[in-house]
Amino acid sequence: MAHEVLLPQWSMGMQDGQVTRWLKAPGDPVADGEAIAEVESSKVAGELLADRAGVFLRALVEVGEVVPVRTALCLIGAPGERIDAGAALARDAASTPIAPAPQRPAPSAGNATQVTPRARKLAVEHGIDLTQVRGSGPDGRIVEADIEALLGQVSDGTYSLAQRRGRLAERLLASLHGSAQLTLSRDIDVTDLTDWRARLPFRAGWGDLVGYAVSRVLGGHPPFNGTVEGDRVRIGSQVNLGFAVALEGGLVTPVIHDAGSKSLQNLTELTAELVSRARSGTLRPQDVDGGTFTLSNLGGHGIDAFTPIINPPQIAILGLGRVREVAQRSGEGIAWRQCMTVSLTFDHRIADGVPAAVFLQDLAQFLSRPEGFQSSA
């Protein structure tokens, strides 16, 4: 029986996508894990991989057609297999299959401007002529924010949550409804680490430093490093560290795989590269897949503490506040110390408050003593 290959959801905010190029034609053999198409969403571009071996029977969507996640994109079957006329799997009843499309040329003055799937869908919904829109994305690409800027707000100051936040809003609400979320916060004295950081031969942000510390400490606290789906909990064998990146109209969470094996400088470089890809809309599926723990950093915006929401299906997320001066007693006098507040939100179904407090205690000890970073400098 023909097998449907579905459009996967590669990131928390991914709502839809489009095939930009078919790499297989009807009758071509397909190996398990082989790339069969190039797919693009508003935040991620990558290859669609076959999830079984067989023969490419037919494409079910046309190149450039925007479809929701989990839509069947094509059919894979056995050699010689025919598709029944009554098969509901195929959306197009025409007998002629869709042939592979040539690779799209790079944008130039003579070619049509590229449009992200979300921007195209929003433009269609509101009858906007894309030829009249000036894109603000890379190479003049039209992004969702460009369409929203044209739409603006209606006269009473309201707007559609479904259009503005889409799948991200649904995922956040599902995260809160689907788990027992509890947040613990504590202050960490990072005075010595602040001085050590100033002497580094490369630039490392506080997110990089905390990410490095988390990747070393989290291995000793396995209940917080993993994912939960239904009643099945999978503890990560390594720390795949995600970090939230704010974009127009939402956020995306790139992942540094096996962060515990990376030096601080390597971690810093990988983070910068992934942030750049996220903002240019060139993240690949492997850049956002497989996270076991997430960091959310609002310290650069002057926030001291907040309650981060778990990035499903993960078990925990750590929020980072700003580094600030705090007066503390020192002998008979007062000393000014550099402190940071961190907030751990975790699924109370998986772990209790005391293990979470111990994890934060160990993390605080690591961050308060630069010795743990020495080998990575």
Beta carbons within 8 Å of 271's beta carbon, 6+ residues apart: 205, 207, 208, 211, 243, 256
Q: Running DSSP on this structure, what letter comes out for residue 105?
A: P
Strand 293-297 vs strand 255-256: parallel, antiparallel, or unpaired?
A: unpaired
**Summary count for the chain: helices (H), strands (E):** 9, 18
Query: What are the tokens at 298?
Result: 């609002």
Residue 352 falls in the annotated catalytic set: yes
Residue 348 falls in the annotated catalytic set: yes
Query: What are the tokens at 43?
Result: 């935040």
Question: Which residue type does 27 have?
Answer: G
The catalytic residue among 84, 301, 352, 362 is: 352
Q: How far is CA 145 from CA 111, 124, 135, 365, in A?
A: 22, 15, 9, 43
Q: Please state, as a whole number, how many other Cβ atoms lie within 10 Å of the Cβ of residue 280.
A: 12
> Measuring CA to CA, which residue among 10, 64, 70 is closest to residue 286?
10
Beta carbons within 8 Å of 371's beta carbon, 6+ residues apart: none
CA dihedral in degrees (77, 79, 83, 84; nearest 10)?
-110
Strand pairing partners for 18?
40, 66
* Chain position carrying tokens 């605080």: 364
Helix (H) or strand (E) holding 118: helix 117-125
Helix (H) or strand (E) holding 186: strand 181-189
> Measuring CA to CA, which residue among 269, 318, 272 is closest to residue 292?
318
Beta carbons within 8 Å of 311's beta carbon, 6+ residues apart: 12, 175, 242, 244, 253, 291, 294, 317
Question: What are the catalytic residues?
Answer: 348, 352
